[in-house]
Amino acid sequence: MRKRYVIFLAALVMLGFTAMGWTQTNTQTAGKPQGAAPAKASTSASTGDLAGVWNFLPTKYDFSSFAKGDPPMTAWGQEQLKAAKPSQGPHGVTLKETNDRVYQCFPPGMPYIYLQVFPLQIVQTPKEVIVLFEYDHSVQHIYTDGRKHPEDLTPTYMGHSIGHWEGDTLVVDTVGLNGKLWLDRLGHPESDQMHITQRFKRADDKTLQIDFTFDDPKAYPKPWDAQLRFRLHPDWDIMEHICMDNTSFENFER
């Protein structure tokens, strides 16, 4: 069993808040709208190999946010950000003061889960790609069998994801998010109108690159992009992590 050299709470304190650069995206190039049919289910000859255990790649980016500074926001988005009391960033408060519900062991949801300090494992099957997050056993099911998003979709923390392969790149379309939590640890808002497009590919043998497009007209006037990278760890396994068992926030002070 691999050793833990990063403790969750200590990592939250020690990590800086230099964040990922965001860029606006033309709405004509944003991901497919809800209900749109994905590309025809791919064959094994047209898929890439994403399987393995991956951990956030240490770079100039960190685990706090997808955005460097604040992307342009709607009036509603600005109101939500103003009300946020994040644990990190220029408006950070102590953990006892924060209203980030992840610290109350609510699931981070999409896409916040990708900013946690725990590894993830990608498993590929003929019908779906499964992203297993070590943190609190969160799971993203990405269906690649050609199905559409359900018309009677019930909003959830992780939403509903369908995907198709474009060569060695997995293109994922996620809708049906409940908008109950933030987009990141800095308090950037997310509404139930959030639509996320992800593009998974190996930048090289040991590097996984995920490009995100965020399209949430209630919170942001234009779609915008971000990128995360992860390092492959062939000798790692996903371990059991339960938020309530492994984290004590009441007694922790920054």
What is d(CA 112, CA 107) in angstroms, rounded to the nearest whole number? 9
Helix, coil or strand: residue 16:
coil
Cα distances from 231 to residues 89, 208, 223, 239, in angstroms, run 25, 6, 27, 17
DSSP 44: G
For 77, phi then psi, to 5°, come to -60, -40
Query: Whole-angstrom Cα distance, residue 191 to residue 74?
Result: 12
Domain limits, the chain? 8-239
Residue 34 and residue 145 in contact, taking contact as beta carbons nearer than 8 Å: no
What is the distance between the alpha carbons of residues 175 and 197, in angstroms, rounded to a whole number?
9
* Tens of pLDDT, residue by residue, the chain (254 residues): 554 444 344 344 333 333 344 555 543 433 444 444 444 444 444 689 999 999 988 654 467 889 888 999 999 999 999 999 999 988 899 999 999 999 999 999 999 999 988 999 999 999 999 999 999 999 999 999 999 999 999 999 999 999 999 999 999 999 999 999 999 999 999 999 999 999 999 999 999 999 999 999 999 999 999 999 999 999 999 999 999 886 654 444 43
Say which amino acid occupies 229. R
Single pTM value for the model = 0.82
Helix or strand or coil: residue 229?
strand
Task: Concatenate the DSSP letters of all residues of 106-144 into one string.
Answer: ----TTGGGGSSS-EEEEE-SSEEEEEESGGG-EEEEE-
Class level of CATH domain 8-239: mainly beta
